[in-house]
Structure 1
Amino acid sequence: MFADIILPFATPMLYTYAVPEDMQGAITEGTRVLVQFGKKKIYSAIVYKLHEKFSSAHEIKSILSFYDDASAISKKQLELWQWIASYYMCSLGEVFNAAVPSVFKLESETSVFLNPDFDEDVVTTDYEEMIVQALQKKQAMTMNEVDELISKRSFSVINKMIENKVVFPEEKLAEKYKPRYQQYIALAENFNTEETLQAAFESLKRAPAQIKALELILSLIEENKNSDILKPPTEVFPGFSTALSALTKKEILVINKKEISRLDEEISAEKDISVLNSYQNEALKKIKALFAEKDIVLLHGITASGKTEVYIHLIQEYLNQGKQALYLLPEIAITSQIITRLRNVFGDRVCVYHSKFSDAEKYEIWTAVSGKNIHKKYDIVVGTRSAVFLPFSDLGCIIADEEHDASYKQTEPAPRYNARDTAIILARQNNAKVLLGSATPSVETYYNAISSKYGLVELSERFHDVMTPQILISDLRSARAKKTMQSHFSPMLMNAIRETLDEKGQVILFQNRRGFSPYLQCDACGWIPSCKKCAVMLTYHKYKTALVCHYCGYTVSIPKTCASCGSTEVLTKGFGTEKVEDEIAILFPEARLARMDMDTMTSRKKYIKVLTAFESGKIDILIGTQMITKGLDFENVRVVGILNADNMLHFPDFRSGERAFQLMAQVAGRAGRKGNRGKVIVQTSDPKHPVIVDFYHNEYINYIHKEIAERKEFLYPPFCRLIKIMLKHRDNNVVTSAALAMMTELNKIKDLHILGPENPVINKIEYFFLRNILIKLPKNNLNQEYKNKIQSVIQNIKANTNYKNLIVLCDVDMA
């Protein structure tokens, strides 16, 4: 018997291994196995297919071992992986790598051993001497340990030492998951009667600390209903740990290790499920009625209309049927408030899953969702895009909140999948239903709804009949002409902030650009500092006192003079969130400020700390990027300021208008959610722009219909499918030639509309020159056939020796 297996990295094909006779019957499709790949490396792999016949000119390696079914991949999961690989034009290995926790992807790591007979004369550098001295103290070191020892990548050093026979390498499998244990204390069986216990105390007459420790332990055991107790902290009283150690040596007490979960302790539901108002109840009824006819329904509900409560009621109905629910969110940032609301109702039946969890936590959640975890069983998963890969045992419904959000699309690395669209396929495999929710649905989703492919339910009233916020447009050109601007803030916005602070309200200021200033520029000659690795200007970060590239991380100190003409007049241009924070602190010194962007929110704890402080009224003005726009619910926000709408509108992308409207609508929805009517002030130099006009009149659907008509005319989604092919090479001439050759071959495929090759806006990143080719696929049943032909062209171009080291990336349904 033979097995085609999936390795956890990009390979253009599956590899075939022989199944040893003693493993036949135990190994099935989806089993995790251990195989040797290459001369020395050992990897965990997944069996994709079993078959009886295979011929090869080379010797076929055998599977080394296999793992139990706790880590097996189900048939449905493999089918989903295959769909992702085919649809998004990537390998199964890339899907495997993205889909499972890294604890399932064991691989051998190199350890080095000292040769006891090495020639000391060949050890010529300090690094080599350090490694030899370390290996004389310990038997072996991994390459990672050597890296840490000499504080640099050690490959070249170790390679030389191997050649000189100072050290020997060996491959060893690195186990990535280790159970967590806690120590528990119990009374030894020999002392479980009054007589034996009394004898124990008699024997301790000369050890008062041990008597005190034993009395404490016995009282704790009694409080715990005679069950083992968690080992107390080491120093309950001075000398406690020494006394405890003595009692265990005398075998009066025993210490046991018990495996525990890394996941949250049991959480009890605190609140009954809320009663829906008439609008929400009507929406829920329509959703359930449409689910009888369609598998996918769009809930278009304005901000603060109470969509989350509708979701909770829908989840409850599926739980009552014994089903599981997946609640998808586009970003980790939104999960904290949502998880609190769900746990208030459903308790510890809810878990969160996203990339910030440790590998061990991901493993435990994976097994808990599949029903194979001895500690936990989860019925509701709140997760970001990677949650679609979890092994649901009985999935009933999927809710994709903020379905329009571009964060659902994976950009790097492959697979470049859209979690919203993948969730629809996942639901189809499990006979589950999908509810897509948004105040500003994507053009594609809304078109599918009005075309009757999806069901459509509208929720157009705010919860508790709260009024929608008042939209005000502040004309920056007029304010600048009248010289009434205060820094980057118009009189209208300044007055609104002042009034809100006087009334003890809160303000959100949105600027979709982090850093202090987008760039520096010499006032004399126009020179702008740029990244040496990328074709992009460096952003000034005041708190780092440095210029930073937001694409590769390249950092330099602030130049004191112009590198071109020597002038000292090198000035900041534009503004980011950091500069907004600085200037608001000067203009409103009494206000308590906080900033939320990628620079400040470096951990989940910091994010929750700021949200909690803002929610409790300890922060008056919150400044941030799009991180503050999504799904957050604050009672006291009176004013939202959109500081620069223009930089969102004038981006070279066919979706720029749609994205700008969605961002503005989402951040506007944070205002006036409870009580007084909120106010949204949009600062723009182009108040007559069609998107600004429709936003002012709160006409998103009107805008969508105009956008649909325009996309139909120029053939853009939803009237075609887009594939972006990006070519990368360190030599600009090579990538230019390869792109032209690829374009020539692609033009031979009938019915494709092809644009390019073109230089992207940023045409060099990390020393790689870039070219883009955009393909518009007709929406028909031949999509996979077209993709196969495109992939064939790509493989032929990459095989050409003139284009050695060419990298080609495919992005299907690009965000």
Structure 2
Amino acid sequence: MMKKFIAQVIVDNKTSNTDKPYTYLIKEEMLEDIREGMRVVVPFGMGNRLIKGIVINIEEYEKEFTKFKYIEDVLDDKPIISKEMIDLSFWMRDYYLSSYLDALHLVMPPGNIKEINTYINLKKEWKEKIGDLGPKEKEIFDILIKNDGISFENLKKLNKDKNLRRKVISLEEKGLIRTTLEIDTKIRKKYERYVHLCNREVLLDELLLDIDKRANKQIEILEFLYNIDEISMKELLRTTNTSLSVVKTLEEKGKVAIYEKEVLRDPIPDDICKYNKHELTKQQKYCVETIYSDIKKGKCDKFLIHGVTGSGKTEIYLQLIEKIIASGKQAIVLVPEISLTPQTVERFVGRFGDNVAVLHSKLSNGERFDEWRRIKEDKVKIAVGARSAVFAPFNNLGIIIIDEEHENSYKSSMNPKYDAIKVAEKRCEIEGASLVLGTATPSIETYYRTKLSEIKLLTLDERINNKNLPMMSIIDMREELDKGNKSILSIELYKAIEENLKNKKQTILFLNRRGYSTFVSCRKCGYVVKCDNCDVSMTYHFKENKLKCHYCGMSLKPPEVCPKCGSKYIKYFGIGTEKIEETIKNYFPQARVARMDLDTTSKKNSHIKILNRMKKGEIDILIGTQMITKGLDFPLVTLVGIIAADTSLNLPDFRSAERTFQLLTQVGGRAGRGDFEGKVIVQTYNPSHFSIQMAKNYEYNEFYETEIMMRKEFKYPPFIDILDIVIYGPEEERVINSAKKVHSDIVKQLEKESRRDLVENIFGPNPAPLEKLKNNYRWQILFKCNKNDLDLLKGVIKRVCIDNSQSKHYKGIKFNIDVNPNSIL
């Protein structure tokens, strides 16, 4: 009996009842062409409509008879995603309870699966390498000569050879062609016009024979081109100071050829200076040697570099990566904020040149596509970027480095709600790579794992060149009120800013709240202006004179009279970065003031412009939100002011003390990084809180010991896992009834499993803290469980919420499931 093979295919259909692998038979003539990670066309459903999908598994099928349908066509000449990345996506699907398509989308090329095309192009030097081609290869090559840039799909329509894929691979191996991916019809390759001489075999004098001696520019261009291979039209016109018409005239005479050439969009600035290698301190050297020693032994371990701010963690990363690249492997570096990317990119490009690709959300679709392709085609060895860069398509990964590992921006807020650190750990495990985490303020969960010896701890407790950590001063704002000071600034902070301006030094002021006023209220009846879509108070933005919802984006003009009682006593309460900016400009009119928050960095590259101005000393006082708190290194910053340390402390969240400690330590660490001493002034209404007092003296270990005891006492991570289900929809009553049904069904399932202990650790259903968002009412159920019960609980939740999501009981209802959320608000 002839062997049969089947492929499991995930079809491109987003409905939840088709979210499963479908099995198809592979035709005999396709056996050698199909690989895991390739796209195929398959007949789907009762009508056998043709639909695209991706092959996730191939195996032998031993039964004699089957009703399986056959795969109709193969769309790629090689896999677009690796087996390892397929495995990673399926692990994410199981761990974060997402759909197959949502998980696969993260590891796929940017764009739409429907619009990915494999393109075949002739290499420039094909004439030199053509040699002897077989008749079948010659047929393919003739098509390629007529259709340079043809898609693999269209080539198959013009050439019916059953072994076409193998012939294409053969031509690629001979160096005659190259294959690339085109992603999404809206994202086109970028082309520029290039020029080269038509005939380089003749002598220059012979080339100039029929050129009029008075045609000086034509002669100049030919002499210039005679010494180079090719040049862009733009560069040629600029270098020879000539016009397009002169080059066109030479083209008409058959002297030069003008042609289109693909150029990659490059999001990396051209003016990056070389970043010299620094001599390592004893502690830095120990970190590099310890980590690389394990890598050489093939141990693939996990490390935490716990280094105070300014201790030189970046130089450790750079020198580690230098060793990794020398061994033939590749590296991924994650940073938490878009504001950190330019500085990190500068250092990595300054050290490694064009061996670096950048991946983050502020890139255009075209830039993201080109950077992804540079990685996929092995043109770079290092990828630097935010959270999603963890999926960079390297095929020989050696290390993943995650800077500022404590940051909550590594957790995705979109489905699947993955934690980039956990995903990086899994990817390293699958691909045999090492994981390095670095921070001055480790998350409690990560530091706890070092105590369990799951992660190796490396400590840097000194700044480079033995510089002192900045002195931190805690100001009790209650005492300021007693003194009659109702200003946003304490007397000490005001005087320190004044002194800094005199000394021509820079100041950073931090407040984690954008806008002008945090809410608008009527003093007569207490009415607060809220968003109709979200039922949260709207923030006033002075510059635009608008109230804005920071959740759905709705905006409206502020009322002049109270909509409820008609009173004119409308008042603006609270402060945001915009109000701080106005106040500082009034207090210090001579100062050059800039603001960096979501409102001022919405345009492309706006954050880079602000940071460059800061670096050049063109800003005296930088006011900002969370995006200025970490990693930034400005030698002239000697003063940091934290306007309201209580903003994070007063949140009803078990991580509020940890976040406050991290915030104060990280923001404070921006001061005194150059040749001058730094100072940090923290304004608070709760100066005696342990997180503030321990941050003042940079006592991380003492903070950890206090916090870990409280986590153990109240059963919070890292001692247990938390699952959060938010049930939401546009009809309030239906949402409430659905939440109650979900709770009831989960309880029944757990009782069937005889797990009453898990039932006792279910909290809810209750209205979510943000009860209405984007016109959806929201109810929440929280679960606590021991780590060894997590899979059991997820299995029950999957059966109740996901497998039954098409039930009539849940019409119009959606579920948002989060495993170990960053916040339960």
For residues 200 and 258 of structure 1, what CA distance do their matches in structure 2 show? 29
Measured in 2, the distance between the counterparts of 1:33 and 1:86 equals 24
Letter matched to residue 340 of structure 2: I
Q: Percent identity?
A: 37
Q: Note if contact 2:9-2:22 (Cα within 8 Å) is conserved in structure 1.
A: yes
Q: For residues 238 and 352 of structure 1, what CA distance do their matches in structure 2 show?
A: 34
Secondary structure of residue in 2 paired with 1:81: helix
2:339 to 318, 333, 344: 333
How far does the alpha carbon of each residue in 1:298-343 deviate from its partner, in whole angstroms, 9 at most, with x for none? 1111111111112222222222222212111112221111111122
Indicate yes or no: 2:353 matched with 1:350.
no
Cα distance, 1:439–1:89 mapped onto 2, change above 3 Å: same
In the other structure, the counterpart of 2:162 is: none
Instruction: Give the C-alpha shift of residue 733 in structure 1.
Output: 1.2
- Aligned pair in 2 of structure 1 residues 557, 57: CA closer, same or farther (>3 Å)? farther
Matched with 1:46 is 54
Q: CA deviation at 1:439?
A: 0.4
CA distance in 2, matches of 1:526, 1:40: 62
For 1:168-220, what per-residue CA distance to the aligned partner results, in whole angstroms no more than 9, with x for missing partners? xxxxx963553333222233339944575344225xx8xx6xx3442232132
**Counterpart in the other structure of 2:731:** 731
1:199 and 1:283, CA in 2 relative to 1: closer, same or farther beyond 3 A?
closer
Q: Unaligned 5+ residue runs, structure 1?
A: 110-172
Deviates more, 1:326-335 or 1:356-365: 356-365
**2:243 aligned residue:** 240
TM-score when normalising by structure 1: 0.85
Find 1:98's aligned residue among 106, 112, 120: 106
| Unaligned ranges ≥5, structure 2 | 118-182
Write out aligned runs for 1:515-664 (5 A).
515-664=515-664
Tell me which residue corresponds to 1:258.
Answer: 261
Tell me, in whole angstroms, the C-alpha distance in 1 between the residues paired with 2:204 and 2:617: 58
- Paired with 2:643 and 2:65, the residues of 1 have a C-alpha distance of 65
What's the counterpart of residue 477 of structure 2? 476
Distance in 2 between residues matched to 1:378 and 1:350, nearest whole Å: 6
- Which residue is 1:23 aligned to? 30
Per the alignment, do residues 583 and 427 of structure 1 end up closer, same or farther by CA in structure 2, a change over 3 Å counting? same
2:457 is the counterpart of 1:456: yes
For 1:115-126, list aligned pairs within 5 A.
none
Residues 659, 55 of structure 1: CA spacing in aligned structure 2 closer, same or farther, 3 A cutoff? farther
CA contact (8 A) 2:383 2:392 kept: no
In the aligned structure 2, how far is the partner of 1:380 from the partner of 1:796? Answer: 40
Q: State the partner residue of 2:232.
A: 230
Structure 1: how far apart are the matches of 2:430 and 2:233? 47
Residue type of the alignment partner of 1:798: S
Worse-matched range after superposition: 580-589 or 189-198: 189-198
Structure-2 residue corresponding to 1:180: 190
Map 1:690-769; keep pairs closer than 5 Å. 690-748=690-748, 749=750, 750=755, 751-752=757-758, 753-769=761-777
Question: Superposed, which structure 2 residues align to 1:132-211 within 5 Å?
Answer: 175-189=185-199, 192-193=202-203, 197-202=207-212, 211=215
Query: How far, CA to CA, are the matches of 1:343 and 1:540 in structure 2?
Result: 41
SS in 2 for 1:102: coil
Shift in alpha-carbon separation, 1:568–1:9, aligned structure 2, 3 A? farther
- Counterpart residue number, 1:784: 791
Relative to structure 1, the CA distance from residue 612 to residue 519 in structure 2 (aligned partners, 3 Å threshold; closer, same or farther) is same
Structure 2 partner of 1:215: 219
Distance apart, 1:421 and its partner CA: 1.0
- Distance between the aligned counterparts of 1:729 and 1:177, measured in 2? 34
Letter in 1 for 2:333: Y
* 1:488 paired residue number: 488
Pair 1:354–1:392, CA change in 2 (3 A): same
How big is the shift at 1:541? 0.8
The AA in structure 1 aligned to 2:190 is R
Q: 1:191 to 1:690 in 2, by over 3 A?
A: closer
Q: Is the 8 A contact 1:476 1:684 kept in 2?
A: yes
Secondary structure in structure 2 of the residue aligned to 1:332 = coil
Q: What residue in structure 2 maps to residue 75 of structure 1?
A: 83
For the pair 1:86 / 2:94, whether they are aligned, the reply is yes
Within 1, Cα distance between the matches of 2:49 and 2:501? 63
* Paired residues of 1:319 and 1:379 also in contact (CA < 8 A): yes
Is residue 363 from structure 1 mapped to residue 374 from structure 2 by the alignment? Answer: no
Could you say which residue in structure 2 is the equivalent of 1:275? 279
Q: Deviations over 1:270-301 (max 9, x none)?
A: 35421012232234344456766771111111
* CA displacement at 1:732 relative to structure 2: 1.2
1:512 CA displacement: 0.2
Query: Aligned pair in 2 of structure 1 residues 41, 654: CA closer, same or farther (>3 Å)?
Result: farther
Residues 543 and 41 (structure 1), Cα distance of their counterparts in 2 relative to 1, 3 Å cut? farther
Q: Are residues 36 and 613 of structure 1, via their aligned partners in 2, closer, same or farther at CA, if it must alter by over 3 Å?
A: farther
Which stretch has the larger CA shift, 634-643 or 562-571? 562-571
Distance 1:759 1:96, change over 3 A: same
Check 1:472–1:714 CA distance in 2 against 1; reply closer, same or farther (3 A cut). Answer: same
Partner of 2:7: 3
What SS does the corresponding residue of 1:726 show, helix, strand or coil? strand
Task: Specify the code of the residue in structure 2 equivalent to 1:707.
Answer: E
Q: Which one is further off, 538-547 or 28-37?
A: 28-37
SS of residue in 2 equivalent to 1:810: strand
Tell me the distance in 2 between the aligned counterparts of 1:346 and 1:438.
Answer: 23
C-alpha distance in structure 2 between counterparts of 1:16 and 1:106, whole Å: 20
- Provide the rounded CA distance (Å) in 1 between the counterparts of 2:765 and 2:588: 50
Say whether the 8 Å CA contact 1:741–1:797 is kept in structure 2.
no
Q: Distance in 2 between the 1:710 and 1:63 partners?
A: 60
CA shift, 1:367, in A, is 3.5
Q: Distance in 2 between matches of 1:238 and 1:612?
A: 32
Aligned runs of 1:314-325 on 2, under 5 Å?
A: 314-325=320-331
AA in 2 matched with 1:443: I
Alignment partners' CA distance in 1, 2:228 and 2:200: 15
Distance 2:6 2:97 in 1: 26
- Give 1:561 deviation, angstroms: 1.2
Q: Does 1:810 align with 2:817?
A: yes
CA deviation after TM superposition for structure 1 residue 226, in Å: 3.8
Deviation string 1:518-573 (CA, Å, 9 cap, x unpaired) is 11111222111111111101111112211111111111112111111222221110
Specify whether residues 796 and 84 from structure 1 end up closer, same or farther in structure 2 by C-alpha distance, changes over 3 A only: closer
Write the letter of the residue equivalent to 1:180: K
Greater CA deviation, 12-21 or 423-432? 12-21
Deviations 1:233-280 (A, max 9, x none): 797799933343343234233212333333359999935421012232
Q: Report the residue type matching 1:240 in the other structure.
A: S
2:307 aligned residue: 301
Tell me the residue number matched to 1:467: 468
Measure the CA separation in 2 of the matches of 1:41 and 1:255.
Answer: 45
CA deviation profile, 1:640-675 (whole Å, cap 9, x unmatched): 111011121011111111112111111110011122
What is the deviation of 1:761? 1.7
- 1:433 CA displacement: 1.3
User: Equivalent residue of 1:762, what SS?
Assistant: strand
Flag the 1:688–1:367 CA change in 2: closer, same or farther, 3 A. Answer: same
Cα offset for 1:611? 0.8
Q: Give the 3 Å change call, closer, same or farther, for CA 196–82 of structure 1 in structure 2.
A: same
Q: Distance in 2 between matches of 1:310 and 1:531?
A: 48
- CA separation of 1:332/1:56 partners in 2, compared to 1, >3 Å: closer, same or farther? farther
Tell me the secondary structure at the aligned position of residue 200 of structure 1. coil
Aligned partner of 1:157 in structure 2 is none
Structure 2 distance, partners of 1:213, 1:18, is 65
Distance 1:674 1:267 in 2: 23
Preserved CA contact (<8 Å) 1:191 1:252: no
Contact 2:615–2:634, Cα closer than 8 Å, also in 1: yes
Q: What is the aligned partner in structure 1 of residue 398 from structure 2?
A: 396
Which amino acid in structure 2 is aligned with residue 533 of structure 1?
N
Number of residue pairs aligned between Structure 1 and Structure 2: 736
